[in-house]
Amino acid sequence: MNARSNSNAVNDVASLIHPYTNLARHPEAGPVVMTRGDGVYVEDEHGRRYIEGMSGLWCASLGFSEKRLVEAATRQLETLPYYHLFNHRSVEPSIELAERLLDIAPAGLGKVLFANSGSEANDQAIKLVWYYNNARGRPEKKKIISRWRGYHGVTIASGSLTGLPANHADFDLPIANILHTDMPSHFHNAKPGESVADFTRRMVDNLEQLILREGPDTIAAFIAEPVCGSGGVIVPPEGYFAGIQAVLRKYDILFIADEVICGFGRTGNMFGCDTYDLKPDIMTMAKALSASYLPISATIVSDDIHEAMMEQSRKHGGFAHGVTYSGHPVCAAVAVETLKIYEDRNIIGHVQEVSTRFLERLHALAERPYIGEARGVGLIGAVELVTDKASRTPFAPALGIGPGIQAKAMENGVIVRALRDVIAFCPPLIIDRQQIDMMFDGVEKALDAME
């Protein structure tokens, strides 16, 4: 091991591989080392304080200093720090968490399978879809359709679902049996002069055409985020999901709702499924499930899928799937406490209340010269940076306009996220109106510097 420096930056560069980071630039750019958190704020090692306008990675829903979660974790650590769910074993926090999730989940979902990350929850969903169709005697019905720009994780299977070319390039993805259809982003994908209604019909029709081209008997499932997050915060146009769900029902195709970002109040209702009237057969969740204080995710399946899983157990002598930390008692205890906090503090009511200000400030940005569109719902939103509003021309990536604004906002004490030409906002659900104003003031100042 190298001699240890007393500089975090030096030691970081010497030892860490940073996910989603330009590794070639990291030695020169260096890390921003965060050392503490307080409400919606985080503080770095130099004492600089930032409003975390992205909740970390769209996840720290209750901010960074929720004592009840610390106490819930401590209580469980002192009682039973680890046990598992394999082979008929169980732990109380996981039982309670599963019950609470089924109480709030859309009708028709009947059983919960835990894992550690959103990627794993989606991986499990794919495996269960395949398992289900094998149990039902339909071994040909295996293809899964996701959407370009959709984000579902980075494991081999969930990374294949993800529809962002950078996640596939040189990783040899996607794997077989994963197909992609269009993202219903009118801003990016509409034809000149096409109305939102015509565009929406075309998006639904494109899905149906893909199904017909491939053969409906080969298509097992369709997966979508209610609001696409990492792909640029794409809010679905009216009628989109109603049309999509009708097509799925017509061809007996399962619907997987990826609630990893939207779940637990982000869109102003408990789930994105509630906001957009979705009736999924499988729902996946992570992030705000535990307010991100500890890693835990879940895949919730319909009674019909669970019935098929039981048939498979009869056939094979067991359900040969599971991870060591599935339903980890400390993570589950924190998640149970998180759900209690959402209820006790009426977090969804709070989101509905403060999101009016959030959306007002967000939409006001669209008046600016280099903002082509502002879009959002609840407490998630984004603006699209363009060189020319009329033609919606994005800046050349090499100019690094998005990252430049992100860096300037940080100098102003605000963390937002540049996703190529998009600046995304996803603050902790506990943010108040004054903090919302401070967040947008910091971003406006960054945009002023650009103009």
Instruction: Give residues in contact with ligand PLP (CB under 6 A).
Output: 57-58, 117-119, 122, 151-153, 225, 229-230, 258, 260-261, 286
**Distances in whole angstroms, Cα of residue 430 to Cα of each of 11, 52, 210, 376, 381:** 34, 11, 42, 17, 16
**Distances in whole angstroms, Cα of residue 176 to Cα of each of 116, 155, 161, 162, 172:** 25, 14, 11, 14, 11
Q: To 5 degrees, how large is the angle CA 13–CA 16–CA 17?
A: 110
Tokens of 84: 């598992």
**Distances in whole angstroms, Cα of residue 385 to Cα of each of 294, 391, 394, 399, 440:** 34, 12, 6, 12, 16
Which residue's entry shows tokens 């369709």? 222
CB of residue 180 vs ligand PLP: minimum separation in angstroms?
Answer: 15
Residues in contact with 49: Cβ distance below 8 Å, sequence separation at least 6, in sequence order = 41, 42, 43, 413
Burial of 401 from C-beta contacts in 10 A (0-12 / 13-18 / 19+)? buried
Is the Cβ of residue 161 or residue 371 nearer to ligand PLP in the bound state?
161
Is the Cβ of residue 229 or residue 327 nearer to ligand PLP in the bound state?
229
Helix (H) or strand (E) holding 238: none
Helix (H) or strand (E) holding 377: strand 371-377
**Distances in whole angstroms, Cα of residue 91 to Cα of each of 79, 144, 409:** 11, 34, 45
Which residues face 179 on adjacent strands? 145
CA-only gyration radius of the chain, Å: 22
CB of residue 120 vs ligand PLP: minimum separation in angstroms?
Answer: 7
CB of residue 259 vs ligand PLP: minimum separation in angstroms?
Answer: 8
The whole-angstrom separation of Cα 385 and Cα 290 is 33
| Residue nearest to ligand PLP as judged by C-beta position | 118
Tokens of 163: 């529809």
Is the Cβ of residue 234 or residue 260 nearer to ligand PLP in the bound state?
260
Is the Cβ of residue 190 or residue 261 nearer to ligand PLP in the bound state?
261
Is the Cβ of residue 152 or residue 188 nearer to ligand PLP in the bound state?
152
Is the Cβ of residue 121 or residue 365 nearer to ligand PLP in the bound state?
121
The whole-angstrom separation of Cα 62 and Cα 72 is 14
Is the Cβ of residue 135 or residue 262 nearer to ligand PLP in the bound state?
262
Long-range pairs for 384-390: beta carbons < 8 A, 24 or more residues apart = 384/187, 384/232, 384/421, 384/422, 385/421, 385/422, 385/423, 386/421
CB of residue 75 vs ligand PLP: minimum separation in angstroms?
Answer: 25
Is the Cβ of residue 260 or residue 300 nearer to ligand PLP in the bound state?
260
The whole-angstrom separation of Cα 48 and Cα 29 is 17
Tokens of 144: 């899964």
CB of residue 161 vs ligand PLP: minimum separation in angstroms?
Answer: 9
Is the Cβ of residue 301 or residue 447 nearer to ligand PLP in the bound state?
301
CB of residue 119 vs ligand PLP: minimum separation in angstroms?
Answer: 3
CB of residue 229 vs ligand PLP: minimum separation in angstroms?
Answer: 5
CB of residue 228 vs ligand PLP: minimum separation in angstroms?
Answer: 8
Is the Cβ of residue 76 or residue 230 nearer to ligand PLP in the bound state?
230
